[in-house]
Amino acid sequence: MTEEKESLTGRQWLVDKVDNSIKEGQTTIPAIENGICQRCGSSCWARLPSGFLYCRACVGLGRLDEGKLLVRQTAGSHYPARAGMTWTGQLQERQEGVSRFLLEKFAAKEDCLVEAVTGAGKTEMIFPLLAEAFSRGCRVAIATPRIDVVNELYPRLVAAFGEVEIGKYHGREEKEAANEQLVICTTHQLLKYYQAFDLLIIDEIDSFPYAGNPQLHFAAGNAVKKTGSRVFLTATPPEDLLKAARQGKLAIVRLNRRFHGYTLPVPRLDLYVKPFLTKGRLHPKLARRIKMAAKSGHPLLVFLPRIAQMPQYFAAVKRLLPDLRLATVYAQDPDRLEKVEKFRKGDLDLLLTTTILERGVTFKHVWVIIVAADDEIYSAASLVQIAGRVGRDKQDPDGLVLFGYRRYSRQIRSAVKQIKEMNRV
Amino acid sequence: MSLCLFCDQPFTGDLDMRRLLLPGKSKTSCLCPSCRQQFAQIGPAFCPQCGRQQDSGEICQDCQKWRRIYQGNFLHNQAVYCYNQAFHDLMVRYKRYGDYLLCQVLQELAAPAVQKLAADYYVPVPTSPEHRKKRGYDTVWEIFTPLLPLTPLLAKKAGAGAQGEKGKKARMQAKQNFFLNPEFRGTITGKIILLDDIYTTGRTLYHARDAIETAFPKCQVESFSISR
C-alpha cells in the first residue's frame, strides 16, 4: 500500500522508517508499541524471519511491522457550515421523538444507542442529526459492517443531502480516498482513520463482522475525535451495549413501531419431518410454499444456511418453476452487487441468499422463506432481522415470513417471542 | 486447544492413541478440521506429466504443447493439492499480504508428500530480490527449509515482475529470468528436484530447469509443486 496521502485529513497510514518525509500537520508513532498494533489494537505475537513482530489481524490493509511508523494526518476543519439537506420528507411523531433525543445527546457530546424495530425508519431519523452536524461544519461517518448496507445507504443519503460531499468506501469499491464531509463505509474502513470524525454513526452494530471483533471496536473508538460522539443503531442490540445502557454508561432510546404504524409481520412456523431437499427435489410442502409465493407476484428471498447447497436448490427451484427469473448470491460471489441490484429493480423474481441480505436492505413488496431456520447459523437476532425485511412499505405493510424448520430451536422461539413483544407495545 | 492459523478460530485436535501414549511426540496441527477440509488433494486421476487433476490419466493439452516446444524433453512435475478457492486465499495472504506465519500451513500441507521425495539436491525456485525485500522473506525457501536440505542453486533477476500478476498469455511469453547463483561454486551431477509453491502454466519451472540444464548438462531435473 503506497498512497500519496499528504492531503488526507484524519487518515493514518504506514511508512518505512527510512522514509521520513513527514509534513506539517502529521504525527508519527511506532506502528507496534509494547507488542500492541497501533492501527487495530491487537496484541502481536507472530514474527518475521528478521525477528520483528508483525500484526496478523489487520494484515489485509498492508502489513504492519515492528520498526515501521504510523503517520497520522490531523483532521481538517475546512468544511462549509451549512445543513446541506435537500430532503423534504416529514418525520412521523414517534420518529420525531427519537430524532430530538439524538440532537440533545449530540449537543451534550454523549454516545447513544438507538433500538428501533426493523422498518422503523432509522435512516430518516438521523437526517436532522446529520443536518445539525453539517451546519456546525462537522465531519461525519456512517459505518456499517455490511457492504450491501453501504450500497443501500449511499444513494439515499446522496438524495437527502444534495449539497454535501459524500464518499462511499468499502473493500470492493475501487476509489481513491478523498476528504468528503460525509463518509459512508464499512467498519473495516475505519481502521484507516484516526480522530477524523465529529460524529460517527454505526448502523447494524450487532452484525458480523463488527460484533465480537475487537479490532473493529478499537477502530470505531479511534476514528472519532476526542470531542466527538457516536450513535449506534440496531433493531437487535447486543448484550454488552444493553448492559452499558442499564448501568447508565450509554444513553438509550427505543422505538417499537414501524414508521407506517403497522405491526411487524409475525413469522409463520412450518415444521418439516423429512429433509428439505432429497435427490435434487424439494420437499413437496416447501415446493408448494415457494410456488404459492412466486405466483403471488411478490419478489421472494429464500435464505439458505450453506453456500455449498445453493447450486442444488437453484436446480430444484429451476425445475419447479422454469419460467421464474432466479439467482443465487453469497458473500464471495463476484457478481453479488449486480445481482442484488437486479433483484431490487425487479429484474429477478427469486433470490437464493445467505445471511448477507439478512439486514439493512429494503426490497419493495418482498416476502421471505427461511429454509432450515433451526440451523445453528441463525441467531435469534438474525431471524428477527430477516423477518424484518417484509412489510416495510406503507402500501403493503404485511406479507409472508415463513420459518421452515425440522427442530424447534431456542433461537426460533426467542425470535418469535421478541417480535410479538414488540408488537404489543 | 489451539488456534487455527487460517481462520483464527479455536479448535481441539483429534485425540488418537498415539497422542495419548506419546504426548509431546506428535505435532499438533495448525489447521482446524474444517479449514483442512477445504484443501482438496489431487486424485485419483491426473496428468502424468504435470500432475494436474483431470478425469483421465492422459497427458493434458498444455503438456502436449510443452513436448512440442521442447522436442520431447519435458519436465516431470509432482503436485499435491488442487488450486481451489482455499488455496488461492492462502497464497494471497502468504504472498500478497505477506502473512509470513502461513508458511507453517503450507509446510503442514506439503510435508507428507515432501518426505517421500528422493533426490541428490533440492533446489527452491527463488523469489526476485525486490519481492524478497518487500516481504522480508523468500516465499518458497521458507516453506521448504525445515523439511529438506536445500541447495540455493538459482537466483532471479531484478525487475522481472511477478508471474502471479499476469494473464496466461503474458506468463507464457515471460523471458528467462533465472541464472546460476554466483555464490555457488563447484559442479553438480545426479538427480535434482526443483521446488515451487504453485505450477500454473509451467513457464517458471521450465525456465528454472533450463537454467540448471545449461550449467550442468549431466543432471536429471524433476519438479515438485504443492499446488497445480
pLDDT, one tens digit per residue, over A34-85 is: 999 999 999 999 999 999 999 999 999 999 999 999 999 988 767 988 999 9
Task: Check pLDDT > 80 for residue A335.
Answer: yes
Any idea where the domains of chain B sit in the sequence? 1-38, 39-227
pLDDT in tens, A140-174: 999 999 998 999 999 999 999 999 999 999 988 87
| CATH topology (fold) of B39-227 | Rossmann fold (3.40.50)
Give pLDDT, residue A143.
Answer: 97
Q: Could you identify the residue written with the cell 495419548?
A: B20
Chain B nearest CA to A44, separation (Å) = 12
Averaged over B50-63, what is the pLDDT? Answer: 93
Residue A337 neighbours by CB distance under 10 Å: 15
Percentage of chain B surpassing pLDDT 90? 69
Q: What is the pTM of this model?
A: 0.82
pLDDT in tens, A390-412: 999 999 999 999 999 999 999 99
Task: Check pLDDT > 50 for residue B82.
Answer: yes
Put simply, the answer to whether A49 touches B93 (Cβ < 8 Å) is: no
Give pLDDT, residue A340.
Answer: 94
Cis peptide before B44 (omega within 30 of 0): yes
Put simply, the answer to whether A56 touches B136 (Cβ < 8 Å) is: no
Averaged over B86-100, what is the pLDDT? Answer: 95
Residues facing residue A188 across a β-bridge: none
Alpha-carbon distance of B185 to A406, in angstroms, equals: 71
- Cα angle A156, A165, A136 (rounded to 5 degrees) comes to 100
Residues of A in contact with B136 (CB under 8 A): 48-50, 52, 65
Task: Check pLDDT > 50 for residue A376.
Answer: yes
pLDDT in tens, B170-202: 888 888 899 999 888 888 889 999 999 999 999
pLDDT grade, residue B19 (50/70/90)? low
Q: Which residue is closest to B6 within chain A, CA to CA?
A: A56
pLDDT in tens, B145-165: 999 999 999 999 988 777 777
Residues of A in contact with B93 (CB under 8 A): 59-60
Contact A388, A367 (CB under 8 A): no
Q: Could you identify the residue written with the cell 546460476?
A: B180
Give pLDDT, residue A332.
Answer: 83
CATH no. of A268-424: 3.40.50.300
Minimum-distance CB partner of B100 among A48, A60, A332: A48
Residues facing residue A229 across a β-bridge: A199
Q: What cell does A324 get?
A: 421464474
Alpha-carbon distance of A293 to A299, in angstroms, equals: 8
Q: Which of B141, B146, B64, B114 is nearest to B224 (CA)?
A: B114
CATH level 2 (architecture), domain A93-255: 3-Layer(aba) Sandwich (3.40)
Chain A nearest CA to B227, separation (Å) = 22
Residue ranges of chain B whose CB lies within 8 Å of a chain A CB: 85, 93, 97-101, 136-137, 142
Q: Which of A37, A36, A11 is nearest to A23 (CA)?
A: A11
Put simply, the answer to whether A56 touches B101 (Cβ < 8 Å) is: yes
Ranking A117-121, B19-23, B39-43 by mean pLDDT, the lowest is B19-23
Give pLDDT, residue B25.
Answer: 54
Minimum-distance CB partner of A46 among B85, B100, B137: B100
Put simply, the answer to whether B100 touches A60 (Cβ < 8 Å) is: no
Give pLDDT, residue A2.
Answer: 39
Residues of B in contact with A48 (CB under 8 A): 100, 136-137
B171 Cβ neighbours under 8 A, 6+ residues apart: B163, B200, B201, B203
Give pLDDT, residue B16.
Answer: 63
- In sequence order, what DSSP letters do the residues of chain B get, joined into one string? -EE-TTT--EE-PPP-HHHHHSTTTSPPPSS-HHHHHHSPBP-SSB-TTT--B-SSSSPPHHHHHHHHHTTT----EEEEE---HHHHHHHIIIIIS--GGGHHHHHHHHHHHHTT---SEEEEPPPPHHHHHHHTS-HHHHHHTTTS-B---EEE-TT---GGGS-HHHHHTPPP-EEE-TT--S---SEEEEEEEE-SSSHHHHHHHHHHHHH-TT-EEEEEEEE-
Contact A65, A53 (CB under 8 A): yes
Task: Check pLDDT > 60 for residue B26.
Answer: no
The average confidence (pLDDT) of chain A is 92
Task: Check pLDDT > 90 for residue B11.
Answer: no
Give pLDDT, residue A3.
Answer: 46
Task: Check pLDDT > 50 for residue A1.
Answer: no
Contact B226, B198 (CB under 8 A): yes
Give pLDDT, residue B184.
Answer: 83
Chain B nearest CA to A334, separation (Å) = 13
Give pLDDT, residue B187.
Answer: 83
Give pLDDT, residue A390.
Answer: 96
| Mutation choice for B interface testing from A18, A44, A56, A213 by most B CBs within 10 A | A56
pLDDT grade, residue B18 (50/70/90)? low
Residue ranges of chain A whose CB lies within 8 Å of a chain B CB: 46-50, 52, 54, 56, 59-60, 63, 65, 332
Ranking A39-43, B5-9, B151-155, B209-213 by mean pLDDT, the lowest is B5-9
Q: What cell does A65 get?
A: 511491522
A174 Cβ neighbours under 8 A, 6+ residues apart: none
Task: Check pLDDT > 80 for residue A196.
Answer: yes
Task: Check pLDDT > 70 for residue A132.
Answer: yes
Give pLDDT, residue A8.
Answer: 85
Put simply, the answer to whether A59 touches B97 (Cβ < 8 Å) is: yes
Give pLDDT, residue B20.
Answer: 63
Higher pLDDT, A243 or A1: A243
The average confidence (pLDDT) of chain B is 90
Q: Looking at chain A, which residues constitute the CATH 3.40.50.300 domain(s)?
A: 93-255, 268-424
Chain A nearest CA to B214, separation (Å) = 33
